[in-house]
């Protein structure tokens, strides 16, 4: 009897990574969920990642990488999180919520763990449709990282192909919600807000909250997100 192939799945605790984990399970992979504590503003999303991983029966690992020590982002430095980062992106700029090299570093850690596990499949929840203008969420980035993965690893040099899966990359937020519903994702477990409180409640004003809420609305699915008492102000 052939055992299921292993896959490392980046799981942040947000809705996109939860759906990505569900997709990997539906494809019959043995799941290894990886979360990265990089110095983000709150721990509630990492707690959500643990819940999501447990729900789908994944082995879960959290790795610490201190990106706060270099700063450069509203998520890792003393910079205010904007209410409308999307407006900045639409004006041609990259929002201050972009974390320099975050996806590159996370995928690199996932690649290392995959090599140790003997896995040749890595899943991440990046999206190039309803997103905030981040350069490391584009298809070109995923394609180039996959090339790097196959050049820079023992397994790649020895002839096995490492595949980076980004199953949500061309989906709208509404499509992601619908796919999650189909795959029995409990979105109430997830946390998307850039500045959620200790209980995981969203601010209702940041770009992540706005995109999440619009996704549920457009999908005509009840939004289970919990918000802070002051979420509707501002």
DSSP class per residue in 14-68: SHHHHHHHHHHHHTTPEEEEEEEE-S-S-SHHHHHHHHHHHHTT-EEEEEE---T
Is residue 30 scored above 70 in pLDDT?
Answer: yes
Residues of the domain holding 187: 6-219
Task: Show Cβ contacts of residue 53 under 8 Å, excluding neighbours closer than 6 positions.
Answer: 11, 21, 31, 33, 35, 59, 60
Residue 55 sits in a domain whose CATH number is 3.40.50.620
* pLDDT for residue 86: 47
CA–CA gap between residue 215 and residue 176 (Å, rounded)? 8
Once rounded to an integer, what is the mean pLDDT over residues 153-160?
93
Question: In this structure, is residue 41 part of a structural domain?
Answer: yes
The lowest-confidence range among 106-110, 188-192, 195-199, 220-224 is 195-199
Has residue 130 been placed in a domain? yes
The answer as to whether 1 is a domain residue is no
Tell me, what's the pLDDT at 24? 98
Give the pLDDT band of residue 233 (cuts 50, 70, 90).
very low
Give pLDDT, residue 43: 83
* Residue 163 lies inside a defined structural domain of this protein: yes
Q: Report pLDDT digits (tens) over 38-78.
A: 877 678 999 999 999 999 999 999 999 888 787 767 666 56
Inside any domain, residue 171: yes
Number of domains observed in the structure of the chain: 1
pLDDT one-digit tens code per residue, 168-218? 999 999 999 999 999 999 999 999 998 888 889 999 988 889 899 999 999
pLDDT, tens digit, 9 for 90 and up, residues 112-121: 999 999 999 9
- The pLDDT > 90 percentage for the chain reads 65
Residue 233 belongs to a domain: no
């Amino acid at each position: 009897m052939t055992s299921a192939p292993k896959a490392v799945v980046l799981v942040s605790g947000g809705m996109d990574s939860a759906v990505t984990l569900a997709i990997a399970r539906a494809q019959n992979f043995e799941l290894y969920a990886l979360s990265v504590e990089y110095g983000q503003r709150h721990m509630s999303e990492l707690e959500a990642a643990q819940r999501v991983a447990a729900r789908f029966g994944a082995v879960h690992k959290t790795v610490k990488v201190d990106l706060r020590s270099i700063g450069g982002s509203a998520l890792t430095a003393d910079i205010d999180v904007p209410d409308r980062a999307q407006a900045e992106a639409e004006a041609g700029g990259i929002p201050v919520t972009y974390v320099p090299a975050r996806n590159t570093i996370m995928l690199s850690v996932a690649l290392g763990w995959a090599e140790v596990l003997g896995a040749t499949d890595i899943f991440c929840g990046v999206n190039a449709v309803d997103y905030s203008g981040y350069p490391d969420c584009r298809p070109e980035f995923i394609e180039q990282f996959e090339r790097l993965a196959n050049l820079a690893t023992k397994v790649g040099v020895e002839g096995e192909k490492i595949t980076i899966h980004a199953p949500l990359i061309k989906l709208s937020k509404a499509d992601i919600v619908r796919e999650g519903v189909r795959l029995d994702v409990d979105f109430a477990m997830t946390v998307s807000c850039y500045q959620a409180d200790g209980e995981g409640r969203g601010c209702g004003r940041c770009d992540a909250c706005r995109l999440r809420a619009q996704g549920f609305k457009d999908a005509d699915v009840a939004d289970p997100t919990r918000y802070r008492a002051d979420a509707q102000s501002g």
